[in-house]
Amino acid sequence: MTFIDVLNEYHIPYITSGHHHARPGWVQLDCPWCGAGSQKYHLGYNIAHGYANCWRCGPHGVVDTIVAATGLTYGAARAALGPLTLDRDRRATRPPGRLTVPTGLGPLTRAHRDYLSGRGFDPAELERLWGLRGIGVAARLGWRVWVPVHYRGAIVSWTTRAIGSNPARYISAGPAEEALPHKDLLYGEDYARHAIIVCEGPADVWRIGPGAVATFGTGVSTAQMLKISRYPTRVLCFDMEREAQRQQWKLQQDLRVFPGRTAIVKLESADPGCATDEEVAELRRAWLGSEGVSSDAAMAAGRP
Ligand SMILES: [Zn+2]
């Protein structure tokens, strides 16, 4: 079916003319993200080139737009749209780049291990489960922990964490250094099953263990929001600080149009990265169905 056929099939109101937001060659509908039911028709679908863009909140994937507008699952929306639209959809997205890792990368040194141990982590466990490495003496990114970002078993991007008092705590790969943009991904998603605990940073994920994912900061991209929306159970667990809580509330609102449930968990600790063992055990028992930070998820994902 064409995009318009799918809108007709699911009784989604749209316009092609007679409104100041209507332009030739475009189909306009209420944006499911920023204007559901508003009759303002902010979201446009370009018929010739097969992409979607909202006047207010920017570009959206075509399949994602159908998912958000109809409530279909991602698979059902893909099937409804058929291959022709999908090929156009794919062309509109950024082609994969080439991964470049920083110079000076090697095994974790004593300094890296001491830093991680000092934060209550087991460095050997982090190496095994999350593939952490260290950057020693280097012109750029010296004395940082290197954190690979995996997607479907392959390293596609990375971030780094300062081990000293550097005010730039996290520095991530630039667009030319990553195979896929990390802000389109969820850190730790390879280990996720039916439920996810959504946090801000990799250290939160290390603390909570497999089943937790991170968005690389409080600002959640549309691509990340849509990935989160595909899990039947999503538990939001951002830092307790004001801006993080505001972004968490916004994310919760964005997720309301999708099937499934979204819960918010408030910890006693300031952020999940420094949660106590009891908090982690409780969180895992309540939402992930296991207490331990076990390695079975790691094995399921095909990594040592
Ligand atoms: Zn919008």
pLDDT for residue 87 is more than 50: no
Across the range 216-230, mean pLDDT stands at: 89
Q: Residue 229 Cα, ligand 1 centroid: separation in angstroms?
A: 17
Q: Residue 47 Cα, ligand 1 centroid: separation in angstroms?
A: 18
Q: Residue 34 Cα, ligand 1 centroid: separation in angstroms?
A: 4
Q: Residue 59 Cα, ligand 1 centroid: separation in angstroms?
A: 8
pLDDT in tens, 242-264: 889 999 999 999 898 888 999 99
Q: Residue 43 Cα, ligand 1 centroid: separation in angstroms?
A: 6
| Dist CA 259 CA 32 (whole Å) | 13
Strands 154-162 and 170-172, by their bridges, are: antiparallel
Across the range 267-275, mean pLDDT stands at: 88
| Dist CA 69 CA 64 (whole Å) | 8
Q: Residue 269 Cα, ligand 1 centroid: separation in angstroms?
A: 35
Band (pLDDT 50/70/90 cuts) for residue 147 is very high
| Dist CA 192 CA 206 (whole Å) | 13
Q: Residue 192 Cα, ligand 1 centroid: separation in angstroms?
A: 28
Q: Residue 142 Cα, ligand 1 centroid: separation in angstroms?
A: 41
- What tokens were used for 96? 């994969």
Q: Residue 32 Cα, ligand 1 centroid: separation in angstroms?
A: 7
Q: Residue 36 Cα, ligand 1 centroid: separation in angstroms?
A: 9
Q: Residue 278 Cα, ligand 1 centroid: separation in angstroms?
A: 41
Q: Residue 262 Cα, ligand 1 centroid: separation in angstroms?
A: 21
Band (pLDDT 50/70/90 cuts) for residue 23 is confident
Which residues contact residue 236 at a Cβ distance below 8 angstroms, ignoring those fewer than 6 apart?
Answer: 198, 248, 251, 252, 262, 263, 264, 265
Band (pLDDT 50/70/90 cuts) for residue 96 is low
213 vs 49, more confident: 213
Band (pLDDT 50/70/90 cuts) for residue 291 is low
pLDDT in tens, 153-170: 889 999 999 998 877 889
| Dist CA 272 CA 202 (whole Å) | 10
Q: Residue 135 Cα, ligand 1 centroid: separation in angstroms?
A: 41
pLDDT for residue 84 is more than 80: no
Q: Residue 44 Cα, ligand 1 centroid: separation in angstroms?
A: 9
Q: Residue 54 Cα, ligand 1 centroid: separation in angstroms?
A: 5
Q: Residue 189 Cα, ligand 1 centroid: separation in angstroms?
A: 26
